Amino acid sequence: MLRDKNLIPLSHQHQHALALCVRIDRAFQAGEVELEPWLAELQQIYEQEIGIHFVAEEKQIFPAARRFSNLQPLVDELLREHAMLREYFVKAATRAMTAEELIALAERLSAHIRKEERRLFEGMQKEMSPEELANIGAGLDKSLADASQSCLLPTPATRLRAKDEIK
């Protein structure tokens, strides 16, 4: 199902976060991970986009979806995941995150995003009228106004490098 235009801003932010998860996974597969630059990047991304994104979902998306009994358990699950993910971002911001926790964050954030896209957004689009989705879109515009509109650039220590650069 195509994504409703009113949910696209969140889907674009999901793409940014999924790209981060892929970069983390590939960095660990390459075997050379400097933890500090990753933690600084996570803190920045959370402050500029993900934290605002979570609040927008909690204010606009989840209450609207909760009106449908078939989506209520999923909303409750997603709220619990937001709390768990916030704990990871606090660990990154306070530089208390381990390499294993960084990997876990990437895995859990990726799974969370896919759940929202495949189950929540799809369910909302099936249940809600175009007018309801338009109202959500207007609320999201206001809620996301403070979020960075550009994808954050990785630092030299966190970007993927060509194999011949890694020596």
Q: What is the pLDDT along the chain (167 residues), one digit of tens a residue?
A: 799 999 999 999 999 999 999 999 999 999 878 999 999 999 999 999 999 999 999 999 999 999 999 999 999 999 999 999 999 999 999 999 999 999 999 999 999 999 999 999 999 999 999 999 999 999 999 888 866 544 444 555 555 444 444 44
User: For the whole model, what pTM was predicted?
Assistant: 0.86
Token digits for 124?
Answer: 């909302």
Token digits for 115?
Answer: 């759940």
CATH of 8-147, one of 1.20.120.520, 3.90.79.10, 3.30.56.10, 1.10.443.10: 1.20.120.520
What's the maximum distance between 2 C-alpha atoms anywhere in the chain? 56
- Rounded to 5 degrees, what angle do the CA atoms 38, 110, 91 make? 40
